[in-house]
Structure formats: structure tokens, C-alpha cells
A and B are shown apart, each in its own frame.
Chain A
Amino acid sequence: MNENIDVTQLLPILAPIFLIQLVLMVFALVLCLKAERTRGPKWMWALIIIFVNLAGPIAFFLFGRRNDG
């Protein structure tokens, strides 16, 4: 295996991973800010979405929204 992996080689492989994470994060953030009511304070969810990688947006999608009632 090549010892000095080129960053330019690395980028196209890793890009989709970052891209999907970014999409999930931005999407969760938009929904969170647009939501009339969230379960728990909005700013808390925003912080969780931004700082907890992957699990943050997922947790918001699963538990953060109130769709019932």
C-alpha cells in the first residue's frame, strides 16, 4: 500500500461521506428551525444537530418533531 496517500486521491472517496453528513445536518437544521413546536427547546436541538455527528440529526428526525395532536 502506498505510504504517502495523496490528498487529491483521498478527496473524491471521502467527499460523498462528508456530503451526506452535511445534507442530513442541514436538512435537520432547516426542519428544526421551521418547526412550530419541537420536543424540548429548539436551541438545544440545533446544538445537538450541529455538534453530534450523524446521531444528532437522526435523533432529531426520530424524537425531536411533534407531528401528532
Chain B
Amino acid sequence: MTSGAARYFAMAQKELLELVRSFKLLWVPLVFVLLGIMQPVSMYYMPLILEKAGNMPVGSVIEIPMPLGAEVLAQTLQQFGTLGLLVLVLAGMGTVSAERNSGAAALILVKPVSSFSYIASKWTSLLLLAWGSLTAGYLSSWYYTSLLIGEVDASRVLGSLLVYGLWLSFALALTLLFSTLLRSPAAAAFSALGASAALSLLAGVFPKQAGWLPGSLSGFAYQIASSGSAGSDRFGWSLACTAAAIAGSLLLAGQSLKRSASVD
């Protein structure tokens, strides 16, 4: 193992320990599991809830078609895309800026470590949190959906999980970048959420022109969950573009940290 890799591992281990000690690795997945369970359950009980809530005349028959299991899973992903993403971004907004503001980063960066390893270790912990939470939440949703509503193919679940995970990874790369560029965690969260929302909106409004942007990934994930395929020739481009954007964000964050390690 080279000395650079050893230092990266030491830093990644520290980040992991911080995830555990700050209890993030416990409560964030729990929130995702809750979101995942609530979607199929509320779909299942929707007719009952409507019946109890509305003052229906006696004898009126409510006809609400039960949705397909695949649709429920796609809806679950939408839940993750709003509340889930919000929680993840807020949990990660201070990743770099909090350490820089307190001065803890200066004491680390003055050691013979590279700013890129530092960023990479932060990124590792954010990835672990995001993928762990997403997987736990999505699998719970799948279990409940097949229990209450209907079976869904494992291949669809896996495909949409991977694509959606990539989208969350991209959003968190943005969070990490803004957390490095901006001193205020709130501003970083706002910028990352704003940029993600803008990209999603762009892809939604102009699917033809903007279909290759990272913003279309969430849409592709819903498609894969509900119909089994992304159904667009821009899907591949979108994957490649997202991977490149993530790499670019991380490099930019590392570069900016290197240059401004001075102004801790």
C-alpha cells in the first residue's frame, strides 16, 4: 500500500467513525426506511382513509384502482427525491466548511496529506451514508409493496436503485463542492439543492434537449422502476455525463481547498 493510500484510508476511517459517533449512520437510514414503508402502506389504505375522512353517503361505492406495485416503487423514489435528498444534503452541508470554520481542518491539512485525499475521504463517507440509506429504504419499500400490493421484478428494483443512487451521489458531490467553496453550511445546502432542482426541472421540461444532463437520472430511475427500461437513447449519455460531473466537482473541490488552505 502506498503512503498516499494509507493516509486516505486513515482519513476515511475517521470519517466513518464520525458517521457512527454522530449517529448519522443510524438515524438517516431509519428516516429512509420510514419513507419507504409509508408509501406502499398509504397507497394500500388510501381507499379506507378516504372513506373514513369523507362524509360519504351510506352505500356509495368507492372505486379507486389499486396501483401496480411498480408504480408504488416509482412513487417511493419520488419521496426519496424530495424529503430524502433534503435530509442527505442537510446532513452533508457542513462536511468541509464546519471543519474549516472551527480550525480543525487547518490542523489536519498542515500534515503531509493531500487535499484530494481529504476530499476523497469526505466523499467516501457521504457515499456510504447515501447508498446505505437508499438501499435500506428502497428494500423496505419493496418488501411492503410485494406484501400489500403486488410483486415487482428484482431486476427493476436493482436497476432503478443503481440509477437513483447515482443521482443522489451527484447531488452529494455538489454538496461537497459547495461546502468547500462556501463558508456557510446553509449557503452550501441551498446551492446544492437549488442546482439539483434546476437540473431536474430542466430535464423534465426539455427531455429532448437536456436529456443527457444528470438531472434526467431521477426520471430514468422512475421509468426503470415502473416500466422496466429507461426508454430513452439519452440514458447512456446521462450516465456518462453524471460520472464526469461528479469527478469534476471533486477535483474542483480538492483544487480549491489546496489553494485556499491558507484562509482556513
Contacts and interface: CB of A to CB of B under 8 A. Distances in A.
A13 B48 contact: no
Interface residues of B, number: 26
Interface in B171-192: none
Contacts of A5: 48
B41 A17 contact: yes
Nearest to A57: B27
Contacts of A17: 34, 37-38, 41
B148 A24 contact: no
Contacts of A54: 31, 34
Nearest to A14: B41
Nearest to B148: A13
A17 B33 CA distance: 9
Contacts of A1: 47-48, 66
Contact of B98 (A13, A61, A68): A68
Contacts of A65: 22
A16 B37 contact: yes
Interface string A1-29: 10001000000011011001101100110
Nearest to B38: A17
Interface string B22-65: 11101100110110011001001001100000000000000000
A54 B30 CA distance: 11
B87 to A, nearest CB: 6
Contacts of A61: 23-24, 27, 91
30 contacts: A1-B47, A1-B48, A1-B66, A5-B48, A13-B41, A13-B144, A13-B147, A13-B148, A17-B38, A20-B33, A20-B37, A21-B34, A23-B30, A24-B30, A24-B31, A27-B26, A28-B27, A31-B23, A57-B27, A58-B27, A58-B31, A61-B23, A61-B24, A61-B91, A62-B87, A62-B90, A62-B91, A68-B101, A68-B104, A69-B102
Given A24-B31, A27-B26, 19 more contacts: A1-B47, A1-B66, A5-B48, A13-B148, A14-B41, A16-B37, A17-B34, A20-B34, A28-B27, A31-B23, A54-B31, A54-B34, A58-B87, A61-B24, A61-B91, A65-B22, A68-B98, A68-B102, A68-B104
